Chains A and B, each alone.
Chain A
Amino acid sequence: MSSIYVDHAATTPMLDSARTAMTLQLAQLGNPSSLHTHGRATRKTIEDARESIAKQVGCLASEVIFTASGTEANNIALKGLYWQGRDKGKQVVVISAIEHHAILDPAQWLADHEGAEVLLVPVSNSGVIDLDFLKDVVSKRGQEIAVISIMHSNNETGVLQPISEVVAIAGEIPVHCDAVQSFKKVPLSFSELGLYALTLSAHKIGGPLGIGALILRRTVEIPALLHGGGQEREIRSGTLNAPSIVGFATAAESEHFNAKNVQNLRDAFIEGLNKIIPDATINGSKANRLPGIINVTFPGTQSDTLLLLMDSQGVSCSTGSACSAGVHEASHVLLAMGHSVESAQSSLRFSFGASSTQADVDYILSVVPDVITRGRAANLS
């Protein structure tokens, strides 16, 4: 049976070069905190990687804090910047309505346990945050805002957000940006954007799972979540995961993701879909988007049924999020874009990556009609 992977936004294949670099590092002995020869050797490797990642994202090496995931980086940034602000009497957290759960849930936690007031910036029907709303909030309550966190691009729709404008509106208010989906897909520079903090994750760019980075402005000191050896600027403790860090840096250095190619595949897919399922709609089609992600609503279907049928045809795609019990839920992103629960629950995400081909597109298009027909029948049953 065919096996077509169109879920690169969830995770993408690890690059051979990253795997090789990582495997070699696995054979190296030494705790980077140790002062002897072995320790120094590992430390050197990690610092090389740090510099390399810094170069790729336009920051200083000292601004890179390695974490165990993008989720962890988001948690450190949001909670840390909030606590720092709260010490000065600022208790408002501003995030967008379409953030990943790795921002939404820590924000909710801060509201439930730490006295935060969370304000959600709404989005337009095409999935772009409402800058006027943000301006209004900042002008009225700027003195109370501890942190603003807006993602660089949305993981479900691929819609890019106007981060430069956000930073301009924010002025002195610290801005964090979850750039997990954007890194290496579209131009991204920490210093040019003028951010306080930015989140990266290795496994979305061809690196290993379970390693990420928080880019945190040099002079910003925030409380830690993990206390211990104080390895990463006293903000993140834990013996550094040298093999994964090496794999991360190798992937970050690689230019294997050709945005033009990926976008051409995506556009060919959309064109084909329009022909065979004319009532399918592309979410966020009017906005600037990442090259690889497309989110489609198929009226009269249910996403989880479609996913099962796609999967049984050998196509791996995604329905967006599921709750802890594994039950598919209407996407908060699509709901924020004005979908009804019903139409949000009839949507699928396809995300193309560097290894995707025209043959993948052709194959998916060949199975779509039958999948949609059956999906519609199951929905009526």
Chain B
Amino acid sequence: MKLIAAMSGGVDSAVAAARAVEAGHEVIGVHLALASNPQKYRSGARGCCTIEDSHDARRAADVIGIPFYIWDMAEEFHDGVVEDFLAEYAAGRTPNPCLRCNEKIKFAAVLDRARAMGFDGVVTGHYARTQISETGKTLHRAVDHSKDQSYVLSVLTIEQIAGAIFPLGDTTKVDIRKEAEARGLAVAQKPDSHDICFVPSGDNAGWLRDRLGSEVGPIVDQEGVKIGEHKGAYTYTIGQRKGLGLTVPTVDGSPRFVLKIEPVTNTVVVGAREDLAVSTMKGERPVWCGPGVTDQVLRGFVQVRAHGAALPCSYFFDGTLLVAQLDEPLLGLATGQAMVIYDGDRVVGSATICETA
């Protein structure tokens, strides 16, 4: 096949590209320039898309022996990922930008452009697997569960999965680093990138405050009684206990947790630990990564964080919302996160959590 390898400048995408070449594909390396004002250097594990990263990607492509180009996707990234991230926070939800990037950039803008140019698909260094089953190509967890990235890929439609190649899904990260070393790729020991790539300082709260302002508002208990003040509601997360700065103690001295963030009234609601418990979640705008879910109740697992646990549940689709009922309640769940349904290792689909109970 003729493939575009998305090369970030990190070790994973470099080995993925090399493996695709070895598998006999005709591969072209592409680095996506996502920041309109890239920083020169990356600092430790923070950030990506620096000029240094693009040089690392180019060097890896040269060592592998494939053509290499840089595609400017800064505008698409800003509009589709950064703006969305801000809007979600402003609405009191907790978004996952990596997921949005896969949905709108890597497997949309890039894949569409690649297909129009005559390529068959896009290779990335994500830790996930695909399989050909009788229903078509399906998405599965990586063998290395600790590195599994199927969660952030769960927004891909069947069409997008058809054009996605994940050569690393069958290998552990440790072995990928060894392989990079053996292939003479200088990025072999480059640290993994964590955090949000467009917040290079790693200070998400500060970054949000700079952009959304820091309007002081009330912290209230569940009865609506004001017991404190906050400096910008969106810098709190559901389930947060520390840093609330509350001086009024509870009757029994038990700690308080953030239960809810209400952007319209700029209010943070706190309460007891047991009030965080969620046993039903509903998600909007579902995407099916294989055969669609119906109103028939099925057994499976739901995952609500990128590296969270797979929680046993029953799930169904009510025609508008994807509903999951947990066997055991979960403490602290923010709307805006993705709920991803698994059937064993297979990704069934995902939706954006809009209601919890």
Contacts and interface: CB of A to CB of B under 8 A. Distances in A.
A381 B113 contact: yes
Contacts, number: 51
B44 interface: no
A326 interface: yes
Contact of B67 (A304, A311, A324, A374): A311
A359 interface: no
Interface string B23-44: 0000010010100001000000
Contacts of B115: 381
Interface string A353-381: 00000000000000000000011011111
Given A304-B69, A304-B72, A326 B117 contact: no
Contacts of A312: 28, 67
A305 B117 contact: yes
A27 interface: no
Contact of A324 (B28, B51, B74): B51
B113 A307 contact: no
Contact of B116 (A304, A322, A380): A380
Query: Of residues A309, A327, A380, which shows the largest number of chain B Cβ atoms within 10 Å of its Cβ?
Result: A327
B72 A378 contact: no
Contact of B51 (A307, A325, A378, A380): A325
Nearest to B109: A381
A305 B118 CA distance: 12
Nearest to B115: A381
Nearest to B57: A326
B58 interface: yes
Nearest to A328: B72
Contacts of A309: 117-118
Interface string A289-307: 0000000000000001101
A335 interface: no
B112 interface: yes
B71 A304 contact: yes
Interface in A213-264: none
B70 A326 contact: yes
Contacts of B69: 304, 307-308
B21 to A, nearest CB: 15
A326 B113 contact: no
Nearest to A307: B69
B38 A325 contact: yes
Contacts of A381: 109, 112-113, 115-116
Interface string A301-338: 00011011101100000000010111110000000000
A312 B33 CA distance: 21
B350 interface: no
Which DSSP category, helix, strand, loop or mixed, fits chain B's interface? mixed
Contacts of A377: 116-117
A381 B111 CA distance: 9
A305 B113 contact: yes
Contacts of B118: 309, 374
Interface string B47-69: 00001001000100000000101
A248 to B, nearest CB: 29
B266 to A, nearest CB: 38
A380 B71 CA distance: 15
Interface in B275-313: none
B276 to A, nearest CB: 44
B72 A327 contact: yes
A375 B114 CA distance: 10
Interface in B106-129: 109, 112-113, 115-118
Contact of B117 (A308, A324, A327): A308
Interface string A158-185: 0000000000000000000000000000
A370 to B, nearest CB: 8
Contacts of A379: 116
B35 to A, nearest CB: 8
A379 B72 CA distance: 13
Contacts of B67: 308, 311-312
Contacts of A375: 117
Contacts of B117: 305, 308-309, 374-375, 377-378
Nearest to A309: B117
Nearest to A306: B117
A328 B71 CA distance: 8
Contacts of A324: 51
A327 B113 contact: no
Nearest to A378: B116
A308 B28 contact: yes
Contact of A326 (B33, B74, B112): B33
B219 to A, nearest CB: 43
Contacts of B109: 381
A262 to B, nearest CB: 28
B182 to A, nearest CB: 28
Contacts of A374: 116-118
Contacts of B33: 325-327
Nearest to A308: B69
A136 B71 CA distance: 43
A140 B224 CA distance: 73
A326 B116 contact: no
Interface string B205-229: 0000000000000000000000000
A32 B117 CA distance: 55
Query: Of residues A312, A324, A326, A381, which shows the largest number of chain B Cβ atoms within 10 Å of its Cβ?
Result: A326
A381 to B, nearest CB: 4
A326 to B, nearest CB: 4
A328 B69 CA distance: 10
Nearest to B110: A381
A378 B113 contact: yes
A378 B113 CA distance: 5
A335 to B, nearest CB: 17
A375 B116 CA distance: 8
10 closest A-B pairs by beta carbon, nearest first, are A381-B112, A378-B116, A377-B116, A326-B70, A381-B116, A327-B72, A327-B33, A378-B117, A325-B38, A378-B113
23 contacts: A305-B117, A308-B117, A311-B67, A312-B67, A324-B51, A325-B38, A325-B51, A325-B54, A326-B31, A326-B58, A326-B70, A327-B33, A327-B72, A327-B74, A328-B72, A374-B116, A375-B117, A377-B117, A378-B116, A378-B117, A380-B116, A381-B115, A381-B116
Given A304-B71, A325-B51, A327-B72, 8 more contacts: A304-B72, A308-B67, A308-B117, A325-B33, A325-B38, A374-B116, A374-B117, A378-B117
